[in-house]
């Protein structure tokens, strides 16, 4: 049996989940993560974003690559666009990467099945559009034939943070599809879930100023 290959990666723990293929816009202000963005820009460095829930750093993380520094401020802060990529498992982590201000981890890549059933995705799309219509949300969802993936809507159908992390943890496509279908069938747009979906849809594209949690 071949040895498990691991690699050292910088990490940026946040109280959110990043999905593969997701565009994430961030406002960077802490010195340690300003250094991370500088390294990412100068050295084409990607890093992992693990999820923090209730002060605990969870082991499954998504690789993020810097796409663009949109704004630079005299204070050293910046607005950046990033893109989610591969999924990793954190075997170990340090509060500071060697000779850096930001944290790091020993990671191994996970094998994510991206071959989703178009028929099931068609059902997911239909249910989501129906919910959006009930909530009067004007948000475009691409068709299954246009490359739709379950990750596309994971932030916008009322999942709690713990549920989003659970979805990221599902590496095989059928499990992710069935998880979303079950959730969509259970949604009651007239209740609190509907308000949550509306709020998340409106926030799409904003630069998030997130205070990195203590963990």
CATH code, domain with 80: 2.30.130.40
Question: Which of 109, 136, 157 is the endpoint of a domain?
Answer: 109
101 and 123 within one domain: no
Q: Does residue 26 belong to any structural domain of this protein?
A: yes
27 and 82 within one domain: yes
3-class secondary-structure state, position 202: helix
Q: Does residue 2 belong to any structural domain of this protein?
A: no
Q: What is the pLDDT at residue 189?
A: 63
Q: What is the pLDDT at residue 163?
A: 97
98 and 26 within one domain: yes
Q: Does residue 34 belong to any structural domain of this protein?
A: yes
Q: Domain containing 171: what range?
A: 118-203
Of 133, 132, 120, 139, nearest to 180 by C-alpha is: 120
Angle between helices 173-186 and 118-134 (to 10 degrees): 30
pTM, 2 dp: 0.89
67 and 31 within one domain: yes
Q: Does residue 211 belong to any structural domain of this protein?
A: no
127 and 94 within one domain: no
Q: Does residue 213 belong to any structural domain of this protein?
A: no
| Interior angle at CA 32, CA 27 and CA 33, nearest 5 | 30
Q: What is the pLDDT at residue 194?
A: 62
Segment 172-178 long-range contacts (CB within 8 Å, at least 24 positions apart): 172/113, 173/113, 173/114, 173/115, 173/116, 173/117, 174/117, 174/120, 176/116, 176/150, 177/116, 177/117, 177/120, 177/121, 177/124, 177/150, 178/120
92 and 37 within one domain: yes
Q: Enumerate residue ranges in the chain where pLDDT < 50.
A: 1
Q: What is the pLDDT of residues 62-109, one digit of tens each?
A: 999 999 999 999 999 999 999 999 999 999 999 999 999 999 999 999
């Amino acid at each position: 049996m071949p040895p498990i290959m691991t690699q050292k990666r910088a990490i940026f723990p946040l109280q959110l989940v990043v999905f593969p293929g997701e565009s994430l816009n961030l406002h960077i202000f802490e010195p340690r993560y300003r250094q991370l963005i500088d390294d990412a820009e100068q050295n084409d460095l990607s890093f992992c974003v693990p999820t923090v829930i209730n002060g605990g750093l969870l082991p499954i993380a998504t690789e993020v690559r810097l796409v663009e520094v949109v704004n630079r401020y005299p204070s050293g802060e910046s607005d950046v666009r990033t893109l989610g990529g591969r999924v990793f498992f954190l075997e170990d982590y340090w509060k500071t990467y060697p000779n850096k201000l930001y944290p790091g981890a020993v990671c191994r890549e996970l094998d994510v099945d991206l071959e989703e059933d178009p028929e099931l995705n068609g059902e997911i799309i239909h249910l989501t559009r129906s919910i959006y219509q009930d909530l009067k949300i004007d948000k475009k969802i691409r068709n299954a034939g246009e490359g739709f993936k379950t990750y596309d809507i994971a932030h916008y159908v009322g999942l709690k943070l713990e549920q989003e992390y659970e979805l990221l943890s599902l590496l095989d496509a059928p499990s992710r599809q069935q998880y979303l279908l079950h959730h969509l069938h259970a949604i009651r747009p007239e209740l609190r879930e509907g308000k949550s979906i509306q709020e998340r849809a409106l926030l799409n594209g904003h630069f998030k100023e997130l205070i990195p949690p203590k963990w």
